[in-house]
Amino acid sequence: MMRRPVARNNPPPNNFMTTKLSPLAPAGFPDLPDIDGVRFATAEAGIKYNNRRDLLLAVFDKGCQVAGVFTKSRCPSAPVEWCRDNISNGSARALVVNSGNANAFTGKKGSAATRDTARAAAKAVKCRTGDVFLASTGVIGEPLDSGKFSDLLGTMAGNVSTGGWEAAAETIMTTDTFAKGSSRTIQIDGQDIIINGIAKGAGMIAPDMATMLSFIFTDAPISSEILQHCLGRSIGGSFNSITVDSDTSTSDTVLVFATGAAAKRGVQTIDAKADRRLRGFRAALDEVLVDLAQQVVRDGEGASKFITVQVDGAVSARSAKKVALSIANSPLVKTAVAGEDANWGRVVMAVGKAGEPADRDKLAIWFGDIRVAFEGERDAAYDEDRAADYMKNDEVTIRVDMGLGRGKAQVWTCDLTKDYIAINADYRS
């Protein structure tokens, strides 16, 4: 995929306290083609920030289908509850996202704010309130004054236009240091079908869900049921396979909007799981979600290293994933990587604490292609200098073979640095 060279339309539009671009950031925001039936407008509503866009309106043509997955938190935000209540309708005409305030743990005022926002958007777009989807991100526990932006939505609805993907991605940022976008184009029935996605998230990132917010858009003609099926399959290996700090947001939301505009070019609607054309669509959706999920990790608060954890030889895929997440969430493993220390003893510790079947004397561990441990002890051929060199890389892969079965899993995380503490010890004050 093409990535624009370093030039950015805007200076990084955050920030609570740092404007330092993550060292793991991609070279630039990718080129996202227009999608027929998707139009954006952004505005400065002054919700928390000054002099930055913090309100995004997306408007969809009639017939747009929608699917979504949400945080598993038992204390979800008001917008998450709103979306959950409406997702089964399957149709969407508008999406309103604000940054600066999560509208989470705001009691009845929170529900009122979502209702008011949805009404204002429905009036502006001329649709049912149930066709309006909402997301909010930022501080938890502060009442969201929807009056600050309800009036703006009318003006914004009059100004929406195709394109503007980077501006949209920037508008939803909080502690992010770069805007996150991804795109794939596939062929269905001889026509180009586009899948674009944007995401935000840098901390409070752990399954399930992993990102705080991500929105995917496609012109594929596909029913909401099939869309939900595809999203459910893709999420496990993407947003539910990343972790920054093991903390799970009250607001995590992934929504996929399918305008169906490609039908005008003769593409038949996909409305059955058995449809063979789904295969390519699913693969492209997987790629977009994995790309965005990895970008969230690359923007992990304070991150200096991108870590891939691969576990194979486990008794099952589920067991492998639990072990992989135990490694990826271990503060001691993450600080060792920050210190460029090939400390496989801490990997053993994390395998052991996962509570999954493990036989110490069958374990093997690699950093990159360097096998550091084999059959329950240090590899006889282990070369400490080579391992130390490897750990200096920006991207580090830790691989564990459990030696028990065929279950495997892969997750992504980042290291734990003093900058994580600096960012989070001061976020709200």
Active-site residues, by number, are: 211
Contacts (Cβ under 8 Å, ≥6 apart) of 270: 188, 220, 221, 222, 223, 226, 277, 278, 281
Only segment of 84-92, 119-127, 133-141, 165-173 that touches its own copies (CB under 8 A): 133-141
C-beta of residue 241 within 8 angstroms of C-beta of residue 204: no
In the region spanning residues 227 to 286, those forming contacts with its own copies, defined by CB under 8 A, are 245-250
Smaller CB distance to its own copies: residue 206 or 285? 206
- Nearest approach, Cβ of 243 to its own copies (angstroms)? 11
175 binds its own copies (CB under 8 A): no
Smaller CB distance to its own copies: residue 281 or 367? 367
Cα torsion for 296, 301, 304, 309, to the nearest 10°?
A: -50
Radius of gyration of the chain (CA): 22
- The mark string for 396-425 relative to its own copies (x by CB under 8 A, - otherwise) is --------------------xxx-xxx-xx
What is the C-alpha separation between 94 and 131, in angstroms, rounded?
Answer: 7
In the region spanning residues 91 to 130, those forming contacts with its own copies, defined by CB under 8 A, are 102, 104-110
Smaller CB distance to its own copies: residue 224 or 304? 304
In the region spanning residues 359 to 378, those forming contacts with its own copies, defined by CB under 8 A, are 360-361, 363, 373, 375-378
| Phi (first) and psi of residue 61, to 5 degrees | -65, 160
329 binds its own copies (CB under 8 A): yes
What is the C-alpha separation between 145 and 148, in angstroms, rounded?
Answer: 6
SS3 212: coil
SS3 172: coil
- Nearest approach, Cβ of 297 to its own copies (angstroms)? 15
Residue choice 74, 126, 276, 392 for contact with its own copies (CB under 8 A): 74
75 binds its own copies (CB under 8 A): yes
Handedness of CA 47, 96, 107, 174 (dihedral sign): negative
85 binds its own copies (CB under 8 A): no
CA distances from 128 to 60, 86, 89, 426 (A): 13, 11, 11, 41
Smaller CB distance to its own copies: residue 22 or 329? 329
Cis-peptide into 208, omega within 30 deg: yes
Residue choice 335, 397, 403, 405 for contact with its own copies (CB under 8 A): 335
Smaller CB distance to its own copies: residue 230 or 370? 370
Only segment of 116-124, 182-190, 278-286, 348-356 that touches its own copies (CB under 8 A): 348-356
C-alpha closest to that of 146 among 192, 183, 98, 104: 98
Smaller CB distance to its own copies: residue 199 or 348? 348
What is the C-alpha separation between 29 and 180, in angstroms, rounded?
Answer: 7
427 binds its own copies (CB under 8 A): yes
Sheet with 94-101, strands from edge to edge, namely 38-43, 55-60, 94-101, 132-139
- Nearest approach, Cβ of 65 to its own copies (angstroms)? 29
Residue choice 31, 151, 192, 341 for contact with its own copies (CB under 8 A): 341
Smaller CB distance to its own copies: residue 142 or 145? 142
338 binds its own copies (CB under 8 A): yes
318 binds its own copies (CB under 8 A): no
How many Cβ atoms are within 10 Å of 5's Cβ, its own excluded? 7
| Interaxial angle between packed helices 78-86 and 107-125, expressed in degrees from 0 to 180 and rounded to the nearest 10 | 50
353 binds its own copies (CB under 8 A): yes
429 binds its own copies (CB under 8 A): yes
- Nearest approach, Cβ of 214 to its own copies (angstroms)? 19
| Phi (first) and psi of residue 241, to 5 degrees | -120, 20
Residue choice 31, 273, 355, 393 for contact with its own copies (CB under 8 A): 355
Residue choice 72, 128, 273, 279 for contact with its own copies (CB under 8 A): 72
